[in-house]
Amino acid sequence: MVGFNAKNLDCIESFYICNFCSLVLRKPVQLIDYGHRLCQSCANEQTGKLIRCSEHCEKAPRENNSDQNIDALKEVFQTINILSDGVGNLVGELKSLSTECDQLGNRLQTSIQESSRVHKSIEEQHPSIDDIKSKQEMIEQEIPSIIKKIDDMSRNSCDGTYTSRITNAKEKIG
């Protein structure tokens, strides 16, 4: 019992056509090594442990080692699960880092605003400091004249005696 006969075979994709009988596949079998398909009955007509591929003119094993394929597939699934867990961990770490980055950005913004306020306060106080310095210089210049006035006032007495004061006595003696 070969594949199905159809009048419009030229309209059917080659994927659905048996490579051996050239009819529409009936109970398709795929050759593992080549990926080509043929009918189950066409595969059964060939004797021996190998099936001849009509396109490659080579023979493929009749039996595939499905246990090896299943084991390999299990390994692939295990690898995928491990990678999936790793990706999950990375996503969690990325979210954590993103949150931390946002917090640091907020702190930075707050620090910038505070720095701006401090800078403005310093600029406002700067003229006051200059005023204080200029007043201090003026007072320092007036100190000698004030000292002289105090000395002059202490020399005058009410009883008519004149008291003289010697300034810098240590320097003059020594």
Asked whether residue 148 is domain-assigned, the answer is: no
Q: What's the pLDDT tens digit per position in 52-98? A: 666 655 554 545 545 666 778 888 999 999 999 999 999 999 999 99
Q: What is the model's pTM?
A: 0.36
Is the same domain home to 79 and 111? yes
Domain with 80, as residue range(s), is 65-117
Residues 109 and 84 in one domain: yes
In a domain, 153, yes or no: no
| Mean model confidence pLDDT for the chain | 78
Q: Quick one: which H or E segment has residue 52?
A: strand 50-53
Q: Are residues 14 and 58 in the same domain?
A: yes
Q: Is 154 within a domain?
A: no
Q: Sorting pLDDT into bands at 50, 70 and 90, what band is 20?
A: confident
Q: Is 100 inside any structural domain?
A: yes
Integer Cα distance of 22 and 42 in angstroms: 10
How many domains does the chain contain in total? Answer: 2
Element (H, E) at 37: strand 37-39
